[in-house]
Structure 1
Amino acid sequence: MADALQLQEYRTPGGAAQSLYEQKKSRFIGQLFPAADQQQVDALLAQVRKQHREARHHTYAYRLRTDHVERSSDDGEPQGTAGRPILEVLQKAQITDALLVVTRYFGGVLLGASGLLRAYSKAASLAVAGADIITMCTCIDCVLTVPYNLYGIIQNMLPGYTLQISDTRFEVDVTLALTVKGSDYQRLVDEVTERTDGRVVPKKIKSHFSYL
């Protein structure tokens, strides 16, 4: 995870998406899934194979941030006609932590190597085009302990940053729990410290990826 967090942002599916493409009576069903690790990839592939158990081929490609994994499979189709073009669709869209499967129901007409390549690429592209692709960014969880007389200053300042307030507690002081976009964090620290004369300094809790 430490290597993965070196990235500032990455694009990934916000949920599953599906497409249907027909070519010379063959049906190509594209399915795009978010997948964070090999275990999820394997489970999703098993799910697709069970869902379409009568299909002839389940070709796929996936990309994972962890260890920079990229893999593809032609699943019995001629080498290079399915898995590779599917992987290239993910690469071109800069999508990672994702599995893209194209299931083929054979229609009785041979498409040839070039026809297969175009059909698999098209089905994969349609699945990506119909998906909700989100940008995950490096975020920092932090806590601000704010005296009541400075709370108004902080309230007026926060809308200038990409962040979420996850908790606010009014006790002896006001305690704010924030998730801040990583690229905004140091600017927030500097402004909070300066405008409160050092009486409020954000306390960093952890870094992680999130969607803001």
Structure 2
Amino acid sequence: MKAYRTVKQPASDRFVEKKSEFIGYAAPAESVESAMQFVAEIKKKHRDATHNVWAYLLPDGITKRFSDDGEPSGTAGMPVLEVIEKAQVVGVCVVVTRYFGGILLGAGGLVRAYAHGCKIALDAAGVVTMQPCDVLQMKLDYAFYDRLRILMAQYGAVEESSQFAQDVTVRCRLACEKTDAFCAAVCEHSGGKCLPKNDGTVFAAVD
């Protein structure tokens, strides 16, 4: 598992080129199903549009697909996909909606317009790095809780939940490469009483 760049959140932006309105939409896409669901949502929202061109590139960096949606071959979907690839983001789906304004743009004009629609959508969505993180669960006594929080801050661990009963149960996540050092520090500072248990690995955003 390795870190990857993707869009931070769903977003959109628009512009007008020779009376044609272009609206670019970008959203995270973890699977073919989620990408196509996003495409369907935009098509439903703009069912009266002349074209809803789309492309996606999944987190594996390999699975990709695009559609010209009626525009001349090579002038719409492929330029959108190329912008995604040049931005070095994965796990993303982009839809560029066009409302025809009556003036033909020509092949070159279409390529530039759809590429720009994708770029402004990606810019609006923002980019975040998703990093593999270990999820750890720890049971400790109340006296060690404050010290644990200091250690978590030092190692960049994010506290996901804490349950306070007879003991304290803390669930956190941190970058995989820091797990061994963090666990060793927790064990040392607790005198061997607190032993973090690995509860799996997830991808999480890193600022």
Q: Same fold (TM over 0.5)?
A: yes
Partner of 2:97: 103
Is contact 2:60–2:90 with CA below 8 Å preserved after alignment? no
2:23: which partner in 1?
29
CA distance in 2, matches of 1:87, 1:22: 21
Q: Do the aligned partners of residues 178 and 103 (structure 1) sit closer, same or farther apart at CA in structure 2, a change above 3 Å counting?
A: same
1:138 to 102, 112, 132: 132
Equivalent of 2:192 in 165, 180, 198: 198
Separation (CA, whole Å) in 1 of partners of 2:146 and 2:37: 50
> 2:48 pairs with 36, 49, 54, which one?
54
Structure 1 residue 45 and structure 2 residue 39: aligned?
yes
TM-score (norm 1): 0.86
Contact kept? 1:37, 1:66, Cα under 8 Å: no
Distance in 2 between the 1:192 and 1:28 partners? Answer: 54
TM-score by length of 2: 0.88
* Map of 1:10 onto structure 2: 4
Partner in structure 2 of residue 3 of structure 1: none
Provide Cα deviations, 1:15-50, integer angstroms capped at 9, x if missing partner. 221111211111111111222222222222222222
Q: Which amino acid aligns with 1:200?
A: C
* Unaligned stretches of 5+ residues in structure 1: 1-5
TM-superposed deviation, 1:193: 2.8
**Post-superposition shift, 1:10?**
2.1
TM superposition shift of 1:147 = 4.1
| Kept after mapping to 1: 8 A contact 2:160/2:171 | yes
Aligned Cα RMSD in Å? 2.1
- For residue 164 of structure 1, what is the amino acid of its counterpart? V
SS at match of 2:21: strand
The yes-or-no answer on 1:76 pairing with 2:70 is: yes
Paired residues for 1:118-157 under 5 Å: 118-148=112-142, 150-157=144-151
User: Is 1:165 equivalent to 2:159 in the alignment?
Assistant: yes
State the one-letter code of the partner of 2:97: T
Aligned to 1:177: 171
Q: 1:152 Cα deviation (Å)? A: 4.7
8 A contact 2:139–2:167 mirrored in 1: yes
Q: Which amino acid aligns with 2:39?
A: L
Shift of 1:94: 2.2
Say whether residues 1:89 and 2:83 are aligned partners. Answer: yes
Q: CA shift at 1:159, angstroms?
A: 1.3
Q: Structure 1 residue 194: deviation in Å?
A: 3.4
1:170 Cα deviation from its structure 2 partner: 4.2
